Structure 1
Amino acid sequence: MAKHWTKDEVSYLEEHWGTKSIRAIAAHLDRKVNSVQQKAVRMELGDARFNYPGITLCQLAKALDKTYTALKPWIEKYGMPVRTKIFCKTRRVRVIDFEDFWKWAEQHKELVNFAKLEPNILGAEPEWAKVKRRADLMRSQKTWQAVDWTPEEDQRLVQVLQTRGMTYPEVAKLFDRSEASVKRKLHDLGVKVRPARLDNHVKYTQDDVNKLLRMAQEGYSYETIGQALGKSALGVRGKLERMGFDFKRRKLREVVK
């Protein structure tokens, strides 16, 4: 005869479903694993993995529109804090707590494209993530990075450079490309003539520097920052490099004394 479930046992199962392994729950309740699984089904508790206050690596990859393999460098090179958890008898699954993910992601903003991440799918989002999503959405609207130059555009680019005074931002805007894309194309074509650079002798004010750092930390593209400051995207990147900006962590590098 099946052992009757008490109210305390039901409450324990409901409270710990997804946070402890089914085997651990069964051991605590002195029940068989199959009995716990069947009770969870009758209680409609759902998949234990979806009741865990975090997400499996496979689920995270799907949420970010990436492959499981693509996330491995995040773990091995950038220290994303995943751990192994047993949900059933012996099946081990790699997971990450929502809180741990947000702490890590704040230090590695450049790795995550929030434009592809559904809002609040990984729990309540911090304010900085909402700002980063707006920046990433602005980036995603620019499709020029994935579009090859046509022979007609190559010819037109060479012709445009005959007009003296055309700056990198003006040429980039004319072709709806990034300044870096224009620079690479000129190199590939072997063209010696270069667009005029904006006046680099105009110093950044402290307000400019503050705005530059804020927008860079929030994840805005160099083109967007340049437009806000009246600078070229190449100049913006150069300024950040000279300031010791960490482009992966989106913050100034700490000075080692």
Structure 2
Amino acid sequence: MKTETMWEEDEITILEESAGFQSIESIARKLNRTPNAVRSKLNRLGITSIRELDGSMSLMQLAQALGVSRSVVERWIEEKNLPAMKKNYYYYKRNKVKHYSIYPDEFWEWAENHKDEINFAKIKRHTILPEPDWFEEERIKDLSKPKNANKNWTPSEDEQLLFLYKAGRSYSYIANHFGRSVRSVQARIGRLRKNKSL
């Protein structure tokens, strides 16, 4: 079993992604290290307020629970005022990375006022506790949205859209074809008209 030997980059990734979701002992077994070595490395990385200790989540834990990238949550913190407590920096692949702690109750309070930023369908129930009363309603709404809602249109889709529109297909038919809402199809056709693609 490894003790305080050098940590590889892939081990640090596993550590960051597992902290707060798995016990120290489980992480130690996965990495073939002692629990004390894992605790020591977490402390050196500044990951000291993981969920099992004080109920907070790391930025990576929240990102995984929401089904988004780390950079999305970081943008919410820096541009959309998501409450977060900045911890120490650590280095990953020679880049200086900020470590944040986010409390679930503060996240949900923020989320209630920023519902358009979040796809609630991606959040599995009971992963960010305690869940507010309104969460399940928003989750059901997002689960019923077309599969490609909010995705950018590709040039290939624009070509197909123009073909179907010129062929006289209804907005409803086109929307079903692309897995988008009728409103999204109408807006895209309007934009293509403005750009004189039609």
TM-score class, shorter: 0.5 to 0.7
Are residues 187 and 97 of structure 1, via their aligned partners in 2, closer, same or farther at CA, if it must alter by over 3 Å? closer
Q: Is the 1:145–1:181 Cα contact (8 Å) retained in structure 2?
A: no
Could you say which residue in structure 1 is the equivalent of 2:167? 159
CA shift for structure 1 position 63: 1.4
For residues 48-63 of structure 1, the aligned pairs below 5 Å read 49-51=50-52, 52-63=54-65
In the alignment, which of 70, 73, 91 is matched to residue 71 of structure 1? 73
Q: TM-score, normalised by structure 1?
A: 0.45
User: What CA deviation, in whole Å up to 9, does each residue of 1:24-56 have, x standing for no partner?
Assistant: xxxxxxxxxxxxx59x9xxxxxx9723131211
Q: Is the 8 A contact 1:54 1:122 kept in 2?
A: no
Cα distance between partner residues in 1 of 2:117 and 2:101:
18
Pick aligned residue for 2:119 from 109, 113, 123: 113
How far, CA to CA, are the matches of 1:124 and 1:106 in structure 2? Answer: 14
1:187 Cα deviation after fit: 4.2
Per-residue deviation at 1:172? 2.0
- Aligned amino acid, residue 62 of structure 1: Q
**Is the 2:58–2:100 Cα contact (8 Å) retained in structure 1?**
yes
C-alpha spacing 1:82/1:144, structure 2 compared with 1 (3 Å): closer
CA-CA distance at 1:70 after TM superposition: 1.7
The equivalent of 1:185 in structure 2 is: 189
The answer to whether structure 1 residue 129 and structure 2 residue 131 are counterparts is no
The unaligned stretches of length 5 or more in structure 1 are: 1-17, 19-36, 41-46, 87-91, 162-170, 193-257
Provide the C-alpha distance between the structure 2 equivalents of 1:145 and 1:49, rounded to a whole number of angstroms.
Answer: 32
Stretches of structure 2 lacking an aligned partner (at least 5 in a row): 1-19, 21-35, 40-47, 89-97
Residue 184 of structure 1 deviates from its aligned partner by 1.9
Distance 1:145 1:125, change over 3 A: closer
The alignment status of 1:142 with 2:147, answered yes or no, reads yes
What is the identity, as a one-letter code, of the residue corresponding to 1:149? Answer: E
The residue that corresponds to 1:216 in the other structure is none
Identity of aligned residues (%): 25
The structure with the largest alpha-carbon Rg is 1
Q: Which residue pairs with 2:171 in the alignment?
A: 172
Correspondence for 1:83: 85
What is the CA distance between 1:112 and its match in structure 2?
A: 1.4
Aligned-residue CA RMSD (Å): 3.4
Aligned residues: 137
TM-score, normalised by the number of residues in structure 2? 0.56
State the one-letter code of the partner of 2:51.
F
Q: CA deviation at 1:106?
A: 0.9
